[in-house]
Structure 1
Amino acid sequence: MTTSQLQLPVIDVHALRHGSAAQRQAVAAQLGLACETHGFFYITGHGIDPDLIDAVFAASRAFFDLPEARKNALDKRHSPCNRGYEPLRAQTLEAGAPPDLKESFYIGAEVPADDARVLAGRFNTGPNQWPGELQDFASTTQAYYQAVYALGADLVRGMALSLQLPADFFEAYLSDAAATLRLLHYPTQPGNPAPGEKGCGAHTDFGGLTLLLQDDLGGLQVWDRQHQGWIDAPPVAGSFVVNIGDLFARWTNDRYVSTLHRVINRSGQRRYSVPFFFTGNPLHEVRCIPTCLGEGEAPRYPATTVEDHQRACYRRTYATAAA
């Protein structure tokens, strides 16, 4: 069942970077309401160059058009930090469903193998794998990574304001923060799919915030708890779709909700999307935020670190899939 008449909020976040204190607080109030209800919202006024967005989609299409042998040579199984290619049906995000009908390419900050963080075994930290035959692929995706990384940090500061905290409350979490850019390709859904087969099974995201670019084909759906149905989240020109991940839900004692979502590619065409997962400083401690506890209420989760949380999530979703 879908409840397509329901819509996710659209929030202009321009003031988070360029507005007065009162204007930033007004945006933060909208963020807080969206995070408490759906945990999903669109953002406009983000300042990311449309030409850079177009270039990232072009780079993604070029990569997934490469021969299978060349893509497989960059399989992320060859990377100790989960960078590179992930073939079709390598991940199962919805328990009990068939593996996801998608292929992807993982990119992170370029960290040399001899960096102290890599030598210390920091999770998902290290050098990328690059398709050398694609001119400008690395420079384009790294430029996009840096631009959306800065936007993600601004959103996190807005989240602090939304929780009645100082804007710099999360600065230690933002310092040396980890993040992952993932290029996704969804082939056309077969005419006779396996029972329950989807482009991406119903799941919640692992980390802090996800900033998603969609192409113009649609297919993303978000679970609406109030009406117990799926909301279509169609593309909105010039926007990102943003959602709360499990880490921020845990940090806020579930005041901010990490919501199930899925992708079903019924377009009859190849679908592309580009999620950016803002994870945070791997060593930062995540302990229930005091303003998220009501009188007499106890934290629902023990303290953890960003890295330990991420490792647990990866173990869960790759338990029956290729690493």
Structure 2
Amino acid sequence: MQATDSNALPLIDISGLHSPDPVRRAAVGRELRAACESRGFFYLCNHDIPATLAAQVFDYSERFFAQPVDARLSLDKAHSSCNRGYEPLRGQTLEAGSPPDLKEGFYIGIELNEDDPRVRRGKFNHGPNQWPAELPGFRPTMEAYFSACHALGALVMRGLALSLDLPEDHFDDFTADASATLRLLHYPPQPPNPEPGEKGCGAHTDFGAITLLLQDEAGGLQVRDTETGDWIDAPPVPGAYVVNIGDLIARWTNTRYRSTEHRVINASGRERYSVPFFFTGNPDYLVECLPNCLAPGDAPRFPPVTVEQHIAECYRRTYA
């Protein structure tokens, strides 16, 4: 189906969550509830992440992908025990039965050395990052941005607690020592004669709790309308993030909150760059259906699962 011309994603001002006034904080929670129950996607503004830092992230991302292929492949995540580093073009297939995704990427996570007890125990996605030596400002820029997004992810989770009529600190154990992944993505222009079903990024839902997406001006992100099946364009809005609910939140809320399919088709005729930040949560946290998300007589649709177990299975499916 073709994408619709209008975007129907709400714009939510997150600044109210910093207010000492509980009425203002609760108002943000109500907006989040409406967005999560309908689309599972929304724009988020007044988030306190400096525009200058976001611009530096884009600059270093473009410079990384502009390097010769040998330089990029020297940091191939195949060399990593924890899925960190460069992912070559067509390295992932997010839409089952479709060609591999027409994108290349770079994975960054929380920096842990090989002596860390969690790394020694072989916990999934725990370990050191790979960094491009030829770009000396790359690492401090990405680490600063990672930290800022991590704090924003924890704040959004407090808003989601309010949205579900829970205490604001209900998810604090989940956000403590939370895992997260920063991905730099580069999409070449969609070829004029693509393979059947070929896209920049195939239709999928996100694995974790919430995703904070920074995208350039090329556009191309589309969100499935769960009522009609049509695709809704989600163009960039200056100063705002696109935020979506992932599969963990859907499990937690017994699908009351939607983890919605989305895809990327880069029809801009130019290179596209985007930077998703996947806030995953504490790997040891057990996610099980929230009691207030069960109607009388209903049963949980999903068994309890730890964050680590869930994410490991999602990676297995898309990199098989």
Match of 1:261?
Answer: 262
1:245–1:313 distance in 2 versus 1, CA, 3 Å: same
The Cα shift of 1:296 comes to: 1.1
Q: Which residues in structure 2 correspond to 1:221-300 (within 5 Å)?
A: 221-300=222-301
With 18-27 and 286-295 compared, the bigger mean Cα shift is at 18-27
Q: Where in structure 1 do 4 or more consecutive aligned residues deviate above 3 Å?
A: none
Q: How many residues align?
A: 319
Specify the SS of the correspondent of 2:292: helix
Match of 2:185?
Answer: 184
> Partner amino acid for 2:4?
T
The Cα shift of 1:304 comes to: 0.7
Q: Does 1:167 align with 2:168?
A: yes
Query: Which deviations, in whole Å up to 9, do the C-alpha atoms of 1:143-187 show, x marking residues without a partner?
Result: 000001000000001000100100111111111000000000001
Match of 1:118?
Answer: 119
Query: Which deviations, in whole Å up to 9, do the C-alpha atoms of 1:173-222 show, x marking residues without a partner?
Result: 11100000000000111121111110000000000000000101100000
The Cα shift of 1:17 comes to: 2.0
Q: What residue ranges of structure 1 are gaps of 5+ in the alignment?
A: none
Q: Which residues in structure 2 correspond to 1:34-73 (within 5 Å)?
A: 34-73=35-74
Are 2:7 and 2:234, in contact at CA under 8 Å, matched by a contact in 1? no
Query: Which deviations, in whole Å up to 9, do the C-alpha atoms of 1:37-83 show, x marking residues without a partner?
Result: 01000000101001000000001001000110010010001100100
Q: What residue ranges of structure 2 are gaps of 5+ in the alignment?
A: none
Are 1:210 and 1:278, in contact at CA under 8 Å, matched by a contact in 2? yes
Question: RMSD value over aligned CA atoms?
Answer: 0.8
The Cα shift of 1:227 comes to: 2.1
Query: Which deviations, in whole Å up to 9, do the C-alpha atoms of 1:203-247 show, x marking residues without a partner?
Result: 000000000001011000000011220000000000000000001
Report % sequence identity. 61
1:19–1:50 distance in 2 versus 1, CA, 3 Å: farther
Q: Does 1:133 align with 2:108?
A: no
Query: Which deviations, in whole Å up to 9, do the C-alpha atoms of 1:63-111 show, x marking residues without a partner?
Result: 0001100100100011001000000001000111110000000001111
Alpha-carbon distance between aligned partners in 1 of 2:234 and 2:317, rounded to the nearest angstrom: 26
Alpha-carbon distance between aligned partners in 2 of 1:218 and 1:238, rounded to the nearest angstrom: 15
> Partner amino acid for 2:151?
A
Specify the SS of the correspondent of 1:26: helix
The Cα shift of 1:6 comes to: 4.2
Are 2:254 and 2:294, in contact at CA under 8 Å, matched by a contact in 1? yes
Alpha-carbon distance between aligned partners in 2 of 1:171 and 1:305, rounded to the nearest angstrom: 16
Match of 2:214?
Answer: 213
The Cα shift of 1:4 comes to: 2.4
> Partner amino acid for 2:314?
C
